[in-house]
Structure 1
Amino acid sequence: MLYIFNASTDPYFNLAAEEYLLTTFQEDIFLLWRNAPSIIVGRNQNTMSEINYDYVTAHRIPVVRRLTGGGAVFHDLGNVNYTFLVSGSGHATDFAHFSQPILRALQSLGVDAALRGRNDLCIGEQKFSGTAQCVRNGRMMHHGTLLFSADMADLTDALKVKPGKIQSKGVASVRSRVTNISEHLKAPMTVEDFIGHVAKEVCAGDAQAYSLTEADKAAITRLREEKYATWAWNYGDSPKYQVYAEYKFASGTAEIHLNVKEGRIAAIRVFGDFFGDRDVSLLEEALAGVPHERNAVMQALSHAQVERCLWGANAGDFAAALF
């Protein structure tokens, strides 16, 4: 087995690295890595229905889609990610097999951790790790989070979705009570020391350290730019969904209904008791086919005469109602 510590904290690069190692290497690999503040959404999720879009935009938090299923998670430098990459699918869906070495590493620190349900690692009733898997060409990837000293306020705020606004057929996240591992240690330790401890316990002298080469990094960077850092992968690959918004302004109330497919506004209708001297269909036509993304919407509205269609509103007001 190869042991790799990926020192990058760029979430786009790190998710690309997982796919590169999964599809390029044949050796079994144990990988440890961390992301700067970011939201990682599951392969089958609708991104917009999983995030607090206003909070994420204001704090410039990257949102990245991963290869595996499951729910959306918030990452920061207090969260340690681990990945097992193995050849053969003999352990497909066997979450316990991959969880055991992680649990042993924690138990050796005096932390009473256990696998709960199919894929959650918990201390008591509180979750500190969610895990997920996928198989590509006979190789399996099993990965998970280890909340060590994550900022719980950011975690909560970034994933606090406005209720009832977005209806989607995507797989919704199930929110759980969570905890940091650091709160349960017998003696304090840094996140860096924790990473070293997990690596030592899991590898147990049976792994060869491997550092990503310049050729590896170049290939990962290409995959990052072509896939993981793109709007098409992170937002456009979402299942179709509907958005309902109600906006009150000086001349009345507008009800806005959106159908979004492959991340683009497939149809939009605006109803209400508002006034204007231009037909609201001008707004509907301007937004048809536009990515459901704030900058793209603002650009499309810049020549749509929002103020004439909806007296008392401007492009910023109307765009804000769509997210």
Structure 2
Amino acid sequence: MLCIKSTTQNPAFNLATEEYLLRNKEEECFYLYINGPSIIVGKHQNTLAEINIDYVKAQNIDVIRRLSGGGAVFHDPGNLNFTFIKKGEKDQLVDFRKYTRPILDVLQALGVNARFEGRNDLTIDGKKFSGNAEHVYKNKILHHGTLLFSSKLPDLSQALKVNPLKYKDKAVKSVRSRVTNISDHLKEAITLQEFEDRIMTHIRDMYADSRIYELTEEDKQGIQKLVDEKFGTWDWNFGYSPEYNFQKGIKTEGGHIEVNLDVNKGIIRKAKIFGDFFNTKDISEVESLLINTPHEYKHLKEQLSRIDVSQYFSKVTREEFLEGLF
């Protein structure tokens, strides 16, 4: 088994590394990594419905879609992530308890009463500190999980706080749980680095064929190609979202504006705008401007820069109207 520690906190690179190892390494792998502030959404989720877009933009938080299903999670430098890539029989690959057991072993050795609960969570005193997800590829399983060690929990709640009334879709929704940090339950304080080392040592003791592996230049080039073509792109992270309907109302000095958008594969296919605002130009021109535009701030701002928004919505600025689109 190849035992690998990441040397970067770039979430796109770390998620791309998982796919690269899954598809390109014959040996089984164990991978540990820490990401900078980021939201990692499940493969089948509507990204915008999972994130607090205003907070994410203001805090410059990366948003990356992963290979596996399940709900959205917040990563920061206080969160350790672990990944198993193992071979097996197709009907026996998915096993959440098997791949979380080593983590529980390490924690229980540290005197922490951690346990497996529900479908895919690890908890301490009923509070979640680890969510897990899996992805099957041919005869391999990719199992990965989060480990909240010393994360900034207020940031987590703000980043994932979103108005459920904005989005109507059939995408998988995240289930929010009460969460806790592992460090709050340790009898003797250790650093995240020490915790990471304990996990790696335990995995190496479990597998006789394990060896420390450092990514080669060829590996890094292959991973960067995945970043450039997939994990670092809007098409994957936002455009891959299932079809959804977006609805939002905003109050402005010029009156109330209600925006309704039908979005498919990240592209606005239909737009209707209602409200009690005053206008001097036909509002259908704005609706037409939005159609076939990605539901993404940069593209919509560029489209709206072509018109004088105040002629369609009296006493309303371009920035105010943009706010109504997210």
- Give the TM-score normalised by the residue count of structure 2: 0.97
CA distance in 2, matches of 1:14, 1:213: 15
Identity across the alignment (%): 47
Q: Which range moved further: 246-255 or 268-277?
A: 246-255
Match of 1:156 in 2: 157
> Is the counterpart of residue 303 in structure 1 residue 303 in structure 2?
no
> Are 1:5 and 2:32 an aligned pair?
no
Residue identity opposite 2:24 in structure 1:
T
Distance in 1 (CA, whole Å) between partners of 2:258 and 2:45 is 26
Matching residue within 218, 229, 233 for 2:221: 218
Q: Which residue of 1 aligns with 2:289?
A: 286
Moved more, 288-297 or 198-207: 198-207
Alpha-carbon separation, structure 2, partners of 1:251 and 1:36 = 40
Where does residue 33 of structure 2 map in the other structure? 33
- The yes-or-no answer on 1:135 pairing with 2:136 is yes
Alpha-carbon distance in 1 for matches of 2:313, 2:173: 34
Q: Secondary structure at the match of 2:8?
A: coil
Q: For residue 263 of structure 1, report the CA deviation from its aligned partner.
A: 0.7
Distance 2:275 2:211 in 1: 66
**Cα-to-partner distance string for 1:89-143 (whole Å, 9 max, x where unaligned):** 3542211111111111111111111100121011120010000001112211001
| CA shift for structure 1 position 305 | 2.4
Report runs of 4+ in structure 1 exceeding 3 Å deviation. none
Q: Post-superposition shift, 1:252?
A: 2.5
Q: Structure 2 unaligned runs (5+)?
A: none
SS of the aligned residue for 2:262 comes to: strand
In the other structure, the counterpart of 1:208 is: 211
Structure 1, 18-27 or 204-213: larger mean CA deviation:
204-213
CA–CA distance in 2 between the matches of 1:239 and 1:304?
Answer: 30
| Distance of 2:150 and 2:106 partners within structure 1 | 17
Which is further off, 83-92 or 152-161?
83-92
**Which is further off, 131-140 or 202-211?**
202-211
Q: Distance in 2 between matches of 1:288 and 1:121?
A: 44
The match for 2:266 among 263, 266, 272 is: 263
Deviates more, 1:160-169 or 1:133-142: 160-169
SS for the counterpart of 2:134 is: strand
| Helix, strand or coil at the partner of 1:215 | helix
Alignment of 1:1-323 (within 5 A): 1-88=1-88, 89=90, 91-204=92-205, 206=208, 207-323=210-326
> 1-side partners of 2:307 and 2:246: how far apart?
21
SS in 2 for 1:4: strand
Q: Aligned-pair distance for 1:87?
A: 1.5
For structure 1, which runs of at least 5 residues remain unmatched after alignment?
none
SS in 1 for 2:200: helix
Task: Give the drift of 1:273.
Answer: 2.0
Q: Is the 8 A contact 1:282 1:304 kept in 2?
A: no
CA contact (8 A) 2:273 2:287 kept: yes
Q: What letter matches 1:104 in structure 2?
A: D
Q: 3-state DSSP class of the match of 2:69?
A: coil
RMSD over aligned Cα atoms? 1.1
Q: What SS does structure 2 have at the residue aligned with 1:19? A: helix
